Amino acid sequence: VIGSGVFFKAEAVLKATGGDVKTGIWAWLIVGLIMIICSYAFANLATKYEKVNGVVDYAEATLGKRYGYYIGWYLTVVYQPALTSVLAWVSARYTCVLLGIDDIVGGTCMTIAGLYLIAIYAMNALSPILAGKFQVSTTVIKLIPLVLMAIVGTIKGLMTGVTVENFTRVTSEVAAGGGGLFASIVAVAFAYEGWIIATSINAELKDAKKTLPKALVIGALIVVAVYIFYYIGLAGAVSTEEIMADGHAGAANAFKNVFGTALGSLIFVFVIVSCLGTLNGLMVGTTRAAFALASRNEGPRPVTFKQVDQITDMPSNSSVLGLFMCALWLLYFYGCTLMGWIGDFGFDSSELPIVFLYTCYIPMFIAVMIKEKDFSPFKRFVVPLAAIISCGFMTYAGFIHPVISASGDREPWKGILLFFLVLLFVIASGALIKFKGEKRLAAESK
């Protein structure tokens, strides 16, 4: 589940904590622990329901098809396209940094983001085999800049004293009451997201009941370690003041400072490629989201969206809808998150959609405690309860704490209100589509 959000959010964490490296490490540790607990809880379900292949299947297994439908609808129109559009911008942003273009919210950057979105979509729609190979190769590439910065950056920072200096002082004040920590936790969630996919590999493992939970915990621990050591390496490469002042160019300058201009730029190319790899992985899910619903005879026009191209073996209509939703969310991200067209009413589409998915997990874990009588007491009660607490903590950090800890002229409740209004529209439209679908099926069965 190693992704590219760590490059993007490491800078955001430093800003949220006012340059407090220690608080940032706590954020990476806490969200990493939440990931481990929740993935272990889902892994236990996967060992019983061997056909589960994602969060929709988990929702159906625990709470039934209706809940699974609404989760699938949310993934189709909000979660997946929102995150995909953000990764398109992140890839474009780092491309602009590499090319020396300072404006990361201007026409050039957004044009590159749009081109990346279309190019990755085209690769998935026209040659899914090529998209799969690209995904595998970029998975390895992602590790190169992370490991290099973790090792070399940390060593250089210890030798020059930058690491000690960054650990012993805070650059700026942050909100009282843990404001910096909670904001960091919400930001870090983006970097860790994707772990739910790893819980669906049970069909590929021998003796999945024993190996899947162990594999997920060990894998998650490796991811947490890599992310934290990268973060420490970044803090050893340059001062936190420089990273916070440089903003979008902070990571690039850190690599150049450690490895020199030429080699640092080359390694930064790997960062861009890894971002494109993550974008590709998200696009794989986005282009198939409507198809996943249609294959269950759910969602709008199931007959249309479950059609598969005979040549490419891709659900073409579902792919087009996925691209359209990505374009809408990219427009929102540009106008409301980057440009502030609607002021405090704009919510960060790289954060709140993830937090809400954690909220959706809570009823599923409660259902495990009620229904799964075959599980041992530890798996039936202790693990789900820990997962409920973890998801509740994420919900508090994302939706409640920003409101009660707001200071100055900021009014974060407005952005949260808009997000829930969007959710209300999504749920209402999903309910209408489901009602019409059930009415159609009833008429056909007569």
Task: Among 1.20.970.10, 1.10.260.40, 3.40.50.300, 1.20.1740.10, name the CATH number for the domain at 5-445.
Answer: 1.20.1740.10
Q: What is the pLDDT of residues 27-85, one digit of tens each?
A: 999 999 999 999 899 888 888 876 666 788 889 999 999 999 999 999 999 999 999 99
Residue 86's contacts (CB-CB under 8 Å, 6 or more residues apart) are 190, 329, 333, 349, 350
- CA geometry: angle at 332 spanning 331 and 334, to 5°? 65
pLDDT of residue 409: 79
- Asked whether residue 207 carries a pLDDT value surpassing 70, the answer given is no
Please state the rounded mean pLDDT for residues 380-390. 97
- Asked whether residue 178 carries a pLDDT value surpassing 80, the answer given is no
Q: Assign 126 a pLDDT band (cuts: 50, 70, 90).
A: confident
Average of per-residue pLDDT values in the chain:
87
Burial class (CB in 10 A: 0-12, 13-18, 19+), 193: buried
Burial class (CB in 10 A: 0-12, 13-18, 19+), 294: buried
Q: Assign 1 a pLDDT band (cuts: 50, 70, 90).
A: low
Calpha distance 10→234 (Å, rounded): 8
Query: Could you give the percent of the chain with pLDDT greater than 90?
Result: 49
| 48: helix, strand or coil | helix
Query: Could you tell me the residue ranges of all domains in the chain?
Result: 5-445
Task: Specify whether the CB–CB gap between 87 and 354 falls below 8 A.
Answer: no
CA 380 to chain CA mean position, Å: 28
pLDDT of residue 327: 96
- Asked whether residue 261 carries a pLDDT value surpassing 70, the answer given is yes
pLDDT of residue 155: 93
- Asked whether residue 258 carries a pLDDT value surpassing 60, the answer given is yes
pLDDT of residue 13: 87
Task: Specify whether the CB–CB gap between 7 and 254 falls below 8 A.
Answer: no
Give rounded-to-5 percent helix, strand, coil for the chain: 80, 0, 20
